[in-house]
Amino acid sequence: MLVYLESLKMYNEFKQKMVKKMKFKYFNDTKRDVSIHPATYEYGCKSDKEVICPLEICTFHLPENTYPWVKMWDYGEEGLSILVIPEKND
């Protein structure tokens, strides 16, 4: 029984290491600021910036076992906005 429990513990530790959190990097190659849509955070994403300035990279951290679904809006002179939603693999 002890050997089984030890094997199970090792398997669970291995599984935890294999489950990686997804990162999505966005490079702003425009000459305008890109704001991050508030719903991005409501869906569980985190980012390292609030506004992505021109020629900057923003990293979005998504929940485990998800991939990014991305939508952008162009508001003309008001700038751009990006929405990042984590989607689960089916």
Predicted confidence (pLDDT) at residue 13 exceeds the cutoff of 80: no
Taking the C-alpha atoms of residue 53 and residue 89, their distance in angstroms, rounded to an integer, is 31
Q: What is the residue extent of each domain of the chain?
A: 20-88
pLDDT at 11: 64
Taking the C-alpha atoms of residue 69 and residue 83, their distance in angstroms, rounded to an integer, is 8
pTM here?
A: 0.74
Predicted confidence (pLDDT) at residue 18 exceeds the cutoff of 70: no
Higher pLDDT among residues 81 and 21, named by residue: 81
